[in-house]
Chain A
Amino acid sequence: MPSAAGEDGGWSSRDLLVNTDVRHEVVLGVLIAFEIALFSITGRNFLSLDNSFECIRLSVEIGLLALALTPILITGGIDLSVGSMMGFCAVGFGSMWHDAHLPIGIAALLTLVLGLLGGALNAALISCLDVSPLIVTLGTYSLFRGMAEGITGGARSYSGFPGGFLFVGQGYLGGVLPTQTIIFVPAIAAFWLLLNRSIVGRALYAIGHSAEGARYAAVPVARRLGLVYLLSGLSSGIAAIVYVAHLGQAKSDAGTGYELMAITAVVLGGTSISGGTGTIPGTLMGLAAIVLLQNGLRLSAWPSELVGISTGLLLILTIVLQRVVGKRGDRLDRAMPGKEPRRSSVASLATKATIALVLVGLTGFCVHQRQLARILEPGHEPGKRRVTIGVMPKSKGDPYFISCRAGAEKAAADLDVDMIWDGPTEVDAAKQNDVVEGWITRHVDAISVSVANAASISTVLRKARSHGIKVVAWDADAKPDARDYFINQATTQAIGYTLLDEAARVMHEKGEFAIITGALTAANQNLWISFIEERMAKYPNMKLVSIRPSDDDRDKAFSEAQTISKVYPDVQVMIVISAPAVPGAAEAVKQSGRKDLLVIGLSLPNLCKPYVHDGEIEAVVLWNTENLGYLAVSAPAALARRTFPAGNGTFDAGRLGELQISGSEIILGAPMIFRKDNIDAFNF
């Protein structure tokens, strides 16, 4: 009897293991089917061949990381360093090709070696020294990203890669299939074979169930663990190369945040974070669920924050369902070891999931209907063609772009156009590309974009132009051949010069000053700094003592400013060139009580008003952001309606009056300087 019970228990638990996987994949399948059904109603051109290939392209880099993370999670480990490793490998690849003049193939091979080395560091610490993978990879997460930033000085990026290489990330095989596929499919096959058709793979599952048990079963645990982290390094290296080819540019911020997306895909795919279970098909389905969600929300022009929220909720929902059903299955199994109950629990799980998803979907559909109703309101003149314009900020959360949006919305109402305001929630060049791809699929009439990174976005903008979409860059320019016009709010040179001229005026052209910038990798800020440095030739007695990062975080700017004022007590002026950092630095000056230290900032008047009146901020330099936002809609609208004047001359920008066009640039005007006497006249 005891032996029979033991046998029985063993049998049913193994059966359960297999069955949980199947159940999970059923749930995911229902979920994916539901996403497809929902988005094919709400999204424009969601259900097209082009779009499905685009989805594949979007998923390759994260997919490669997710594939590598699957065996790691199966062993009960984790690797948080994969995204940072991508940044490190991308920078290494760029510098080997550009600085060491290696042929691109060799550079790519050496990049894979670099990835393996990084993986080896993780592997050595985790498997030989037996340190928790969470901690090791948390350390290497900072280390790899930090090394990438250190090597490039944060700012340098490598571009100008040969077309043959870019084809890997941007081309189509036979005109339809994204080239990345030929890298992704073998990777899938390799990981599937590893997990399902090899002794090593079975050992990984065993380690995940119980490392001690596996050791007694003669599994070389340390070597097997080392292998999965090595593979993850290699995979990150491959992902880095694909990423560089995709964006046409290698920079130290490559892959930021990808580790979370990849882990989410793996866990959503049914791999248990505590080890022992998980499959490659599950991971692929998890990946598909996330990518379809992103792509579908974009094509439906729903706010991009919903991507994060719904991914988070999905993750929780999946876990809860997994647990609840797992528990019931367990109980039923124990009650009667027949096979009947399992089938019914699959069915009940599927029903529940469907009901939950239908509810979520219906809510979304109602929201969408309301939007549609707003767009389709009667009262439009029939003769005028209704145009849709996609307008993209660098980051949606930045107060600067929020104030641009106010102007853009005014223009959309004045000119009677449909505006889609969407973009990354934080500055992210790769995500900007994804959004533009979505708009091309949606067939918008014009695209208006504030470019985070000219080299990386230009390819996709050219593609948009070849589809007959008008492209305008605003705030920051793309490559000139990738857009029709650039709205120049004030040249970067004028900004840099004005900032230093203001500082010189306050300091009577002599003494020390410091700069607090945004992130060290921010392209705009680095340009301004270079022009500030160029202008210093005019003021030989002024000395720049330090450039410090604030990461666009007010609290960090506050600490940096405090420390600068103590380390360099002779600093008279801090030039702060990030909108949220200016009030932080001003607050630091205020709390120190120093009257001989002033802030000159590039920020929004509203954020700075109290400090300008208090006297900590001497001057705020900026252009009229609302007018910039207005122009970012009115210019592409005129282009799309073919009412834009050809050649040099002036453009009637409605409430902004006549604006000068020079070449392919529309000039908004010189930068404005806000001081105590005029700042109250502005509200943005």
Chain B
Amino acid sequence: MKLQLRPAWPALIALGTLYIYLAFAAPKFYRADNLRDLALANVAVLLVSTGMTLVIVLGEIDISVGATFAVCSIICGTFAKLGVPAILWPLVALAAGSILGATNGALVSFVKAPSIVVTLATMVTWRETLRWITNGAWIEGLPNTFQWFGLGQRRGEAVIVASAALLFGILWWTSRNLSAVRAIYATGSDAEAARLAGIPTKQLVLSVFVVMGALTGIAALLNAVRFSDVPANSGINLELKAIAAVVVGGTPITGGRGNLVGTLLGVMLLGSIGPALIFLGVSPYWEKAIQGGIILAGVLVDAISRWRGRRVEFA
């Protein structure tokens, strides 16, 4: 099976350069415990970015994921505190995420409101409502079985990484082989043509937003169980991290194209940069500027390659 990495090559090159440079400048970066911590820290971002890739391929965007993440974290924590058994938490997370996602999806597909405005509105609404209800208070005093699903640290870590990998694998495979998911690409490149070709575009848009919400809910749960209590304002800037990872991974924001392996590379690149800069001893004051620069560089490389491609076509 071909990986189709062509659009993601800038991310691949950047990631390769960074990792080779780190191998010489900071070999400690490759210690097993560091790699494990990196993987765990990026599980949530990966799941959200996966959903975001589908949304962007569809030609839409969702900037409410950070707020959805916070709401789902609190809901999972509340249910855990009420004594709901661990086996039901994923269902709670899925349900909560899906409902929030469906709200976005319904407004986008049936009211035909632009997704950036809808999700801007829901982002503010969810966050402020959460703040109003919780008053910023954390969920503390959770049962001991909350952290790591009560499995202990090593097994808990394995479960978290494995479930994320499994979810990502399933979505990657379906995104290439399942006609229902291929329909997202069709709709993203030309919604009207897709509709005329018999794709129920409205339902499709709704379902993609539901999947986005559900993935965010699961991400929130997997992230929450790494700790012993749940803060009320998690997921700050998560939407920006996810969109950046998708774009750096070579998925154009215009929809219709994109692949999940690129997104994985994007998540790895942006997730490694922060810790790598600490390993390299760079001042934290410049981190944000460097991250912005990397996104722009990715965009630039993509634009130049497209531009050259166009010239070749004309010739």
Contacts and interface: CB of A to CB of B under 8 A. Distances in A.
Contacts of A57: none
A311 B252 CA distance: 31
Given A135-B253, A143-B292, A149-B285, A305 B131 contact: yes
Interface stretch (B4-12, B193-201, B233-241, B260-268): B233-241
B170 interface: no
Interface string A293-308: 0000000000101111
Interface string B244-263: 10010000111000000000
A399 B137 contact: yes
Given A130-B303, A397-B232, A306 B132 contact: yes
A397 B243 contact: no
A559 B26 CA distance: 18
Chain A interface size range: 35 or more
B299 A125 contact: yes
Nearest to A588: B37
Contact of B138 (A312, A399, A610): A399
B132 A305 contact: yes
Contacts of B233: 397, 553
Contacts of B289: 142-143, 146-147, 149-150
B272 to A, nearest CB: 11
Given A145-B288, A312-B125, A562-B37, A139 B295 contact: yes
B114 A309 contact: no
A316 B115 CA distance: 11
Contacts of B287: 146
B122 A319 contact: no
B16 interface: no
Contacts of B155: none
Contact of B278 (A311, A425, A567, A584): A567
B296 A125 contact: yes
Interface in A117-153: 125, 129-132, 134-136, 138-147, 149-150, 153
A398 B307 CA distance: 49
B121 A312 contact: yes
A628 B121 CA distance: 37
B291 interface: yes
Nearest to A314: B121
B286 interface: yes
Nearest to A252: B285
B119 to A, nearest CB: 10
A546 interface: yes
Contact of A554 (B37, B41, B127, B231): B231
A564 B278 contact: yes
Nearest to B127: A308
Interface residues of B, number: 72
A380 interface: no
A554 B227 contact: yes
Q: Which of B285, B287, B289 has the most CB of A within 10 A?
A: B285
B117 A305 contact: no
Nearest to A564: B278
B279 A129 contact: no
B182 interface: no
Contacts of A554: 227, 231, 234
A323 interface: yes
A509 interface: no
B140 A607 contact: yes
Interface string A578-606: 00100110010001100000000000001
A135 B285 contact: no
Contacts of A141: 240, 292
Q: Which of A131, A135, A319, A520 has the most CB of B within 10 A?
A: A135
B31 interface: yes
Interface stretch (B81-89, B105-113, B210-218): B105-113
B274 interface: yes
A416 interface: no
A263 interface: yes
Contacts of A560: 278
Nearest to A121: B296
A208 interface: no
Contacts of B174: none
A315 B292 contact: no
Given A135-B247, A146-B287, A149-B289, A308 B136 contact: no
Contacts of A78: 116
A182 B34 CA distance: 57
A320 interface: yes
Given A129-B304, A138-B243, A142-B292, A308 B125 contact: yes
Given A263-B120, A547-B284, A319 B228 contact: no
Contacts of A135: 247, 253, 295, 299
Interface string A368-408: 00000000000000000000000000001111001000000
A622 to B, nearest CB: 17
Contacts of B121: 311-313, 315-316, 319
Given A125-B299, A135-B253, A320 B113 contact: yes
Contact of B111 (A132, A272, A323): A323
A548 interface: yes
A308 B128 CA distance: 6
A3 to B, nearest CB: 25
B189 to A, nearest CB: 15
Given A132-B254, A303-B132, A555 B234 contact: yes
A316 to B, nearest CB: 5
Contacts of B138: 399, 607
A7 B232 CA distance: 58
B180 interface: no
A515 B285 CA distance: 14
A309 B136 contact: no
A546 B279 CA distance: 11
B48 interface: no
A274 B231 CA distance: 37
Contacts of A150: 285-286, 288-289
A580 B231 contact: yes
A347 B211 CA distance: 39
A610 B228 contact: yes
A567 B131 contact: no
A395 B306 CA distance: 46
Contacts of A307: 128
A548 B278 contact: yes
A309 B240 CA distance: 21
Contacts of B278: 546, 548, 560, 563-564, 567
Contacts of B244: 138
B234 A312 contact: no
Contacts of A398: 136
A566 B140 contact: no
Contacts of B274: 559
A591 B152 CA distance: 11
A636 interface: no
A49 B279 CA distance: 58
B275 A563 contact: yes
Nearest to B304: A129
Contacts of A319: 107, 111, 113-114, 117-118, 121
B65 to A, nearest CB: 14
Closest 3 pairs (CB-CB, A-B) = A146-B289, A142-B292, A146-B288
24 contacts: A135-B247, A138-B240, A139-B299, A141-B240, A142-B295, A143-B293, A146-B289, A153-B285, A260-B120, A274-B114, A306-B128, A309-B132, A311-B124, A316-B113, A316-B125, A553-B234, A555-B231, A559-B41, A559-B275, A563-B37, A563-B275, A563-B279, A564-B278, A584-B227
Given A142-B240, A312-B124, A583-B227, 8 more contacts: A129-B300, A134-B61, A309-B132, A312-B122, A319-B114, A548-B284, A559-B37, A580-B231
Interface of B: 26, 28, 31, 33-34, 37, 41, 61, 107, 111-114, 116-118, 120-125, 127-129, 131-132, 135-138, 140, 153, 223, 227-229, 231-234, 236, 240, 243-244, 247, 252-254, 274-275, 278-279, 284-293, 295-296, 299-300, 302-304, 306-307
